Structure 1
Amino acid sequence: MTTYVSPSPGQKVQADLARSWLLVNAAQPARFQAAEDSAADVVLYDIEDAVAPKDKDRARQHVVDQFSNGHTGWVRINGYGTQWWEQDVTELAKYISHELDGPQENGGLVGVMLAMVESSDHVNETAARLPGVPIVALVETARGLQRINSIAAARGTFRLAFGVGDFRRDTGFGSSPRALAYARSQFTIASKAAMLPAPIDGPTQGTISKNLIQGASIAAEFGFRGKLCLLPEQTATINSGLSPSQEELTWSHDFLADFKKDGGQIRNGSDLPRLSRANSTIELAEALGIEWIRPDSDDYSGTATDPYP
């Protein structure tokens, strides 16, 4: 899989691993610097839902100005079929970064989140207009969820995202994890089947750490590894909640040490999934620059001899 790596404020972590995706209203450029200075893995200049129709052109121009001034970043664009989509892709196509597969030294567009995706054609038409640009397909309606497998399999789809608020408005579902369990599961299953990175969950409201931690925990439980954020203050908590914990890293290192001590041979039916879990946890932590520090206490969740949870 091609990854898109950038040391710029617009994208600090490669997009297939990015945890916090911070939406910043592009009609309010005074907010741009705070977004770039935040802990967000990816800054998304939003010219879609956050922007009133009368401000769309102005918001798009603010993003163009950012790219012209050497900034890099992602943009949430308006849905295919809206009156603004054509203008979005036409203008942004002029600023596609020439270094999509490497470190960003010059300004430009490195990716888009396409709103209101209801068909693979929506993604592919956008990809044709923005060649080489990774597209996160934001699925936000019942119609989109019904077609999520074909959307995930579309050539242009880089990653899936769940537009929780609009989905609830469209369907009448409540906000509880139980009410949205089926929908969230479909994102993860479709992503896995299409060999995409793990999906991105919708945002949690507010800045209360307890709520953000719970929101990240719910996302992780359903196999999501990214989450939309609405405020810069949310990003550090979301990053932490969607990263391997020290307890998980300790379990992983202890399991691998125990496995190696026993000769590195499969001992029972739970070894293969546990081996995969341990290796993937350590690899993810290394990719995210998370250092393993063994907790002072051995009271962590899971041990090297536990059955695979």
Structure 2
Amino acid sequence: MTQQTAYRPRRSVLYMPSSNERALEKAKTLPVDALILDLEDAVAPDAKAAARENACAAVRSGEYGRRELTIRVNGLGSEWHEADLTAAAAAGPDAIVVPKVGSADEVRCLVAAMEDAGAPERTRLWAMVETPVAVLHAEEIARASDRLACLVLGTNDLYKELGASFVPGRAAIATSLQLALLAARAAGVAIVDGVFNDVKDADGFLAEARQGREWGFDGKTLIHPAQVEPCNEVFAPSAAQVEEARAVIAAFETAHAEGKGVVTLNGRLIENLHVDTAQKVLATAEAIAGLS
């Protein structure tokens, strides 16, 4: 059964190394929708324990306002995973992010471990899709538990696993991205795109963010604060889109009130699917406005 979840803006999802206390402090001021307090790739082995403490303290602080706070633990099978998951569950973030989830069974094991560790009901699971196996089983992963709220693309690892080359347009991983998108939409969960690595290439970032938005992603994971505001703009409905959505709904309602069987707006036929899309645009715009 497809899950039905209320829309929550996840336009910009910024990775923050939890070993860097200055970065955690700066994150309190950023106009970001969600933060991934990272215990994995961005943290050296000898800093793992301190990073874990910092991330949990940040979650408990209550100082991050409306931002969605998540903790990325080290992966299943790593020496840090169990301690990370136990501590994160006790801290009670909005979600626990787990790298390299490869099957529905792993999702169920993770959910059971979260529950055993006392994670509050509101703490969801975000599963990272970053291997060929995960892509091929993405729908099973997305449907494995009602606690799973989001798929996160790990595109760097996906490139590595495929032996593919980084090129503009991402042709080498387009099929993988779109399969993951299909899985998320079939299961009714959110999905965010992978990172763009060159923080100095603003035009390249915008092009990739727009591609992700056009394909249907809810947002994009980020590695630098400078990427937050342009990402927010790309993944938000424009003023023109909001105006058009209102016009579509008004035209549809007026036509039905007048008993007309055919609805048109500026010569274009309006059907139920167009109304549904318009309502989603308005709901998205309202949710984003509610963040401020």
TM range (shorter): 0.7 to 0.9
Equivalents in 1 of 2:261, 2:170: separation in Å? 36
Give the paired residue count: 267
| Deviations 1:192-248, CA, capped at 9 Å, x for gaps | 111213x10001231544233212211112110111011112111111100101121
Match of residue 82 from structure 1: 78
The whole-number CA distance in structure 1 between the counterparts of 2:142 and 2:84 is 22
**Runs (4+) of structure 1 moved beyond 6 Å?**
none
Change (3 A) 1:70 1:195: closer
Partner of 1:23, secondary structure, is strand
Inter-partner Cα distance in structure 2 for 1:71 and 1:34: 11
Q: Taking CA–CA contacts closer than 8 Å with sequence separation of 6 or more, which of the two structures ends up with the larger relative contact order?
A: 2
1:41-120 superposed matches below 5 A: 41-71=33-63, 73-96=69-92, 109-120=93-104
Cα distance in 1, alignment partners of residues 214 and 55 from structure 2: 35
**Match for residue 299 of structure 1?**
none
Match of 2:149 in 1: 158
The equivalent residue for 1:180 is 173
Equivalent residue letter for 2:274: R
Q: Percent identity?
A: 25
8 A contact 1:229–1:235 mirrored in 2:
yes
Does structure 1 conserve the Cα–Cα contact (< 8 Å) formed by 2:12 and 2:221? yes
Task: Say which SS state the counterpart of residue 219 (structure 1) adopts.
Answer: helix
CA deviation after TM superposition for structure 1 residue 68, in Å: 4.7
- The one of 105, 130, 136 aligned to 1:146: 136
Structure 1 gap ranges (5+)? 4-13, 97-108, 291-309
Match of 2:118 in 1: none
- Say if 1:39 and 1:232, in contact at 8 Å, map to a contact too: no
* Residue number in structure 2 paired with 1:23: 15
**CA distance in 2: counterparts of 1:271 and 1:177, whole angstroms:** 34
How far apart, in 2, do the equivalents of 1:65 and 1:275 lie? Answer: 44
- Normalised to the residue count of structure 2, the TM-score between the two structures is 0.84
Q: Secondary structure at the match of 1:27?
A: coil
**Aligned-residue offset at 1:91:** 1.7
Question: Take 2:170 and 2:242, find their aligned partners in 1: how far apart are those partners?
Answer: 27
Gaps of 5+ in 2: 116-120, 264-268
- Are residue 202 (structure 1) and residue 216 (structure 2) matched? no
Q: Which residue of 1 aligns with 2:262?
A: 267
Which moved further from structure 2: 87-96 or 38-47? 87-96
Could you tell me whether the CA contact under 8 Å between 1:266 and 1:272 is conserved in 2?
Answer: no
Question: Which residue of 29, 32, 40 maps to 1:37?
Answer: 29
CA contact (8 A) 1:118 1:147 kept: yes
TM-superposed CA distance for 1:71, in Å, is 4.5
Q: 1:82-137: CA deviations, max 9, x gaps?
A: 221111112223222xxxxxxxxxxxx22111111111222222222223320111
User: 2: CA distance between counterparts of 1:67 and 1:92?
Assistant: 9
- Tell whether the 8 Å contact from 1:48 to 1:77 is kept in structure 2 after alignment: yes
Structure richer in helix, relative to its length: 2
Do the aligned residues in 2 keep the contact of 1:39 with 1:236 (CA within 8 Å)? yes
Name the CA distance, whole Å, in 1 between partners of 2:242 and 2:54. Answer: 42
What CA distance in whole angstroms lies between the structure 2 residues aligned with 1:95 and 1:196? Answer: 24
Match of 1:83, SS state, is coil
